[in-house]
Structure 1
């Protein structure tokens, strides 16, 4: 394999291990004052730094996971990795985001259980919905006349 092939292979891997440029651009523009622009090179550097940070944290979390003989990296492994690497200041915000995420998951499960508790099949619920739409449409049309 030539150096050129290796470089193009590395570029393909780098593209896979990146962040969406449009999303990062939007985040940057939201954080900067409206009269300040960000050069593409700066955005790309920010993306590279973010990807490197993610690699660093995930590698450390993986080591912690392996030390505990676990096969799955848990949120607690990430928090411990942040602390070990000197990013203690981030842990409070990460823990808050984790709490919010767990609450969203729990709320989503409640919605699923409401569906299950209804005792109706999906077809029955769809028929009810269609009947409600038809009744609403009829009322709308009656009000138009």
Structure 2
């Protein structure tokens, strides 16, 4: 149990929520010119602002979700919340990331289904691979002589 959770076993309160400080510090360092540094207090303030932004967007998305009579916040609820709160300029990038994410999921599913479609066990596939390696090795050795 972390110090942030307390000893009560209760879920963390809004005051306990944060972002990984090392990750935020790395992002800040990458974004700033090499000759500029960021004070710890500034980094902490940026983290607070980010947490507040996430809370604002998620609250608005939750309202949209409830208005749609849904129980789960979906990507379109987040996009709707961004638009409602005046962050329309963010929506294009969010939609691009969502599209990439969905494509990666499809690609992963295709890889799994190809294995399943083979109808072979992992052991059978391993044996087939070893046979192909042996054939290839034999062919290479015969060409070397």
TM-score class, shorter: 0.7 to 0.9
Take 1:56 and 1:127, find their aligned partners in 2: how far apart are those partners? 55
Partner in structure 1 of residue 33 of structure 2: 33
Query: How do 1:63-102 and structure 2 match up within 5 A?
Result: 63-102=63-102
Gaps of 5+ in 2: 1-6, 138-145
Partner in structure 2 of residue 114 of structure 1: 114
Name the SS of the counterpart of 2:47 in structure 1.
helix
Report the alpha carbon displacement of residue 13 of structure 1 after superposing the two structures with TM. 3.8
Take 1:56 and 1:77, find their aligned partners in 2: how far apart are those partners? 13
CA RMSD of aligned residues (A): 2.7
The structure richer in helix per residue is: 1
Report the alpha carbon displacement of residue 128 of structure 1 after superposing the two structures with TM. 5.4
- TM-score (norm. length: structure 1): 0.76
Name the SS of the counterpart of 1:99 in structure 2.
helix
Take 2:45 and 2:21, find their aligned partners in 1: how far apart are those partners? 11
Instruction: For residues 43-89 of structure 1, give each alpha carbon's deviation from its aligned partner in whole angstroms, at most 9, with x where no partner exists.
Output: 11111111110000000000000011100101000000000001111
- TM-score (norm. length: structure 2): 0.76
Partner in structure 1 of residue 52 of structure 2: 52
Take 1:87 and 1:116, find their aligned partners in 2: how far apart are those partners? 44
Gaps of 5+ in 1: 1-7, 139-145
Tell me which stretches of 4 or more aligned residues in structure 1 moved more than 6 Å: none
Instruction: For residues 83-103 of structure 1, give each alpha carbon's deviation from its aligned partner in whole angstroms, at most 9, with x where no partner exists.
Output: 000111111111111111111
Name the SS of the counterpart of 1:54 in structure 2.
helix
